[in-house]
Amino acid sequence: MVDYGDAAVDPFSIDNSMEPIRALVREIAETGVIPIVLGGDHSILWPDAAAMADVYGAGKVGVIHFDAHPDCSHDLFGHLTSHATPIRRLIEDEHVPGRNFIQIGLRSAIAPDDEMFDWMREHGLRAHFMAEIDRRGFDVVFQQAIDEALDGPEHLFVSLDIDVLDPAFAPGTGTPEPPGLTNRELLPAIRRICHETPVVGMDIVEVAPHLDPGYTTTMNARRAIFEALTGIAMRRKGLPGPDYLDPEVAGPPPGQQT
* 161 in a labelled binding site: yes
Angstrom distance (rounded) from CA 69 to CA 109 = 9
Contact at 8 Å (CB) between 203 and 44?
A: yes
How far is the C-alpha of 49 from the C-alpha of 86, rounded, in Å? 10
For 184, half-sphere exposure in the C-beta direction (CA atoms, 13 angstrom radius) is 0
C-alpha distance from residue 193 to each of 150, 155, 202 (Å): 12, 12, 11
Dihedral pair phi/psi, residue 32, rounded to 5°: 90, 0
Is residue 151 part of an annotated ligand binding site?
Answer: no
Residue 71 labelled as part of a binding site = yes
The response to whether 243 counts as a known ligand-binding position is no
Q: 251: exposed, middle or buried (C-beta count within 10 Å: 0-12, 13-18, 19+)?
A: exposed
DSSP 26-90: HHHHTTT---EEE-SSGGGHHHHHHHHHHHH-TTSEEEEEE-SS----S-BTTBSSSTTSHHHHH
Task: Give me the amino acid identity at 137.
Answer: G
Which of 34, 99, 42, 37 has its CA nearest to residue 70?
42
Say if strands 126-129 and 101-106 run parallel, antiparallel, or are unpaired: parallel
Annotated binding site for Mn(2+): 42, 67, 69, 71, 161, 163
Annotated binding site: 42, 67, 69, 71, 161, 163
